């Protein structure tokens, strides 16, 4: 049985109380930064940013970024002088609080001027001078080098980029399953980059079994997780989140017994181009049920390049 890390227990127990046919309210993600005590303590918090999904912020709710030109082994910042004016480093004199992420990911590293910069997964983190308030992410993708950082310590994908191919089983990290209300669509589950998760009705849910492999798995990437690692769960009853071995030995995440997938036709957070594809692919909700959101027309389906 996999371990699950409950990031924010917004709906703990809800899925056990309501069946797939019962109505549910749209999930509401809690801005962890708003829950921090009123102190000067530096903190790193998980929060939901429109267009990106779950990312990390500082105590005031400002989005945190990583710089792909920095070093992570060993950690070192290469953003100084004018760069550091545009991208102020998140500094800390002592212990850094962590909310909504594994505190073991958070550390510090000495900058060239001797100040201590916060790191997440060994990556120095920054704010962007162009973000003037909470919930903004105007620095995302700038110069194809600056990216908001997720609660897993991974960078968010560049805008418009399709999901990366599924990595080999020995290279996959811990998975993330978040509940999110997608504007114009309704409640659905997403991964750490805000990309919609789907179920395949030709799979088996009891017992769990994926029947999507070969060319199917190239278009519908199984959501994999690392053996023995925590699955990050937010807004979902963690008893619903399990894993099932695939034929290649990798571990696929299941929700409510259904193996879950990402669709290559979704290019950015909030896309739901796979919903209703061929009458067998549907976005999945927090109760482990297929979404009841309206299905696209045939012409809309063709535009989304669906199919398996």
Quick one: 182 and 295 in the same domain?
yes
48 lies in some domain: yes
pLDDT of 31 reads 43
Name the pTM for this structure. 0.51
- Asked if the structure places residue 154 within a domain, the reply is no
Res 248: pLDDT: 80
| Closest by Cα among 190, 174, 50 to 121 | 174
Residues 6+ apart with CB under 8 A from 307: 219, 277, 278
Let me know if residue 268 belongs to a domain. Answer: yes
Calculate ∠ Cα 97-117-82, nearest 5°: 135
Residue 155 lies in a domain: no
Low-confidence ranges of the chain (pLDDT < 50): 8-17, 24-39, 158-171, 301-302, 304-306, 308
Which residues contact residue 187 at a Cβ distance below 8 angstroms, ignoring those fewer than 6 apart? 24, 26, 27, 179, 180, 181, 285, 286, 291
C-alpha triplet 75, 121, 168: angle, nearest 5°: 115
Same domain, 226 and 268: yes
Q: In this structure, is residue 153 part of a structural domain?
A: no
What DSSP designation does 239 have? G
Specify the pLDDT at position 225.
87
> Pick from 117, 148, 179: which residue ends a domain?
148
- In tens, the pLDDT along 144-155 reads 889 999 988 888
Q: Which of 118, 148, 178 is the last residue of a domain?
A: 148
Residue 51 is predicted with a pLDDT of: 79
- Residues contacting residue 300 through CB under 8 Å, at least 6 positions apart: none
pLDDT at 166: 47
Same domain, 13 and 38: no
Predicted confidence at residue 94, as pLDDT, reads 87
pLDDT of residue 164: 41
Which pLDDT score is estimated for 298? 57
- Give me the domain span that covers residue 229: 3-28+161-303
User: How many domains does the structure of the chain reveal?
Assistant: 2
pLDDT at 299: 54
Examine the domain organization and report whether 167 and 184 are in the same domain.
yes
Q: For position 1, what pLDDT does the model report? A: 56
Instruction: Note the pLDDT of residue 297.
Output: 65
Last residue of a domain, one of 116, 148, 180: 148
Same domain, 287 and 195: yes
């Amino acid at each position: 049985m996999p371990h699950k890390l409950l990031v924010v227990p917004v709906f703990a127990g809800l899925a056990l109380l309501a069946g797939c046919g019962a109505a549910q309210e749209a999930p509401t993600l809690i801005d962890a930064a708003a829950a921090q005590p009123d102190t000067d303590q530096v903190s790193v918090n998980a929060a939901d940013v429109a267009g990106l999904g779950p990312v990390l912020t500082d105590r005031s709710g400002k989005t945190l970024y990583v710089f792909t030109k920095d070093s992570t082994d060993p950690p070192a910042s290469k953003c100084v002088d004018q760069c550091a004016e545009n991208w102020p480093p998140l500094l800390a004199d002592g212990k850094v609080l962590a909310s909504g992420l594994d505190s073991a990911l958070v550390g510090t590293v000495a900058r060239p001027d001797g100040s201590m910069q916060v790191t997440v997964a060994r990556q120095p983190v920054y704010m962007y001078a162009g973000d003037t308030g909470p919930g903004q992410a105007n620095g995302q993708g700038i110069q194809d080098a600056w990216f908001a950082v997720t609660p897993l310590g991974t960078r968010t994908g560049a805008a418009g980029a399709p999901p990366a191919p599924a990595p080999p089983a020995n290279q996959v990290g811990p998975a993330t399953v978040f509940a999110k209300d997608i504007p114009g669509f309704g409640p659905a589950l997403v991964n750490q980059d805000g990309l919609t998760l789907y179920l395949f009705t030709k799979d088996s849910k009891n017992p769990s079994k994926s029947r999507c492999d070969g060319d199917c798995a190239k278009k519908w990437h199984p959501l994999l997780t690392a053996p023995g690692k925590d699955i990050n769960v937010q807004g979902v009853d963690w008893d619903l989140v399990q894993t099932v071995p695939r034929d290649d030995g990798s571990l696929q995440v299941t929700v409510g017994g259904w193996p879950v997938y990402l669709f290559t036709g979704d290019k950015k957070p909030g896309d739901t181009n796979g919903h209703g594809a061929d009458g067998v692919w549907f976005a999945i909700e927090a109760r482990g049920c297929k979404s009841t959101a309206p299905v696209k027309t045939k012409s809309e389906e063709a535009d989304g390049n669906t199919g398996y």
